[in-house]
Amino acid sequence: MAKIMICDKMDQASIDEINSRWGCDVMTGQTPEGLAKTIGPYEGVVIRSATQVRAVAIDAAKNLRVIIRGGVGIDNIDHEYARSKGIDVRNTPAASSDGVAELALGMMFSLARHIHKANVTMRKGEWNKKEYEGIELAGKTLGIIGIGRIGQSLAKKAHALGMTVIAWDKFVEKSPLDFVEMVCCIDKLLAKSDFVSLHIPKADGFVIGAEQLKLMKPKAYLVNAARGGVVDEAALLEALKAGTIAGAGIDVWAKEPTDNQALIDHPNVCCTPHLGASSVESQERVGAEVIKVLSEYFG
């Protein structure tokens, strides 16, 4: 019998290797309650961002040794509860760093040069050359909230483009990169930055809410390719309507799939459906890291 259950889409070559080494069943689209009905026989469970492993499933996991999140954040797992039951929770923190960083940078380019708008209006037969005068990234200040693996990857790319990079991190005081200036507080970062990019796990409450948005420059842009729920979407929409900030790039949403059509439809929003790690290379690296973790448990 298969030892491993794979609950979300993964690189097929990695699935084939997992199946050949330990046996696996691919069972996608399960609710927490549905997972509780199927999880019992398995010793390992692999998820990405869609599946939620909650207490109801953990209680039903009679043979489970490890839950592996193919990605960075583990907020879709009741990880403390799982560990209290003797079940290890692991992730693959390095695999998607470059993919997410590149998406964040791509959103910055799109916002700065109105690519997201022009792509739509050109398809409508409009030639809005005069309306879409943009700005260059070189010489601008990028403020990174969270200077972990993804934040550092973005910092390196931005520095190579000639941007000034500053950062704030709740857990980091000394800069991990000699060209990144750590600032003392998030308020200072918001006030100084032309672009702000978030790379932090989901927190209790909003990291960026109405008060924080008021601190940003009116011509600044906010990018969230971190986790849904770290930015107050309602406050962001109001800030965009009021012109408090110039625009926003959003890849992650409080509810996924999102139903926040008003935010999607705002002309100064560049939006994507949680594509941060959706590159061929990131998927291959995630699969390889998952296999490496599985081999620690099952040989």
Q: At what angle are helices 280-298 and 12-21 packed, to 10 degrees?
A: 10
Question: Exposure of 32 by Cβ count < 10 A (0-12 exposed, 13-18 middle, 19+ buried)?
Answer: middle
| Active-site residue flag, 227 | yes
Q: Which of 199, 274, 285, 289 is catalytic?
A: 274
Residues 6 or more apart in contact with residue 77 via CB below 8 angstroms:
47, 52, 53, 67, 69, 89
256 is catalytic: yes
Q: Which of the residues 48, 90, 149, 227 is marked catalytic?
A: 227
Is 54 a catalytic site residue?
Answer: no
Tokens of 154: 């973005």
Positions marked active-site: 227, 256, 274
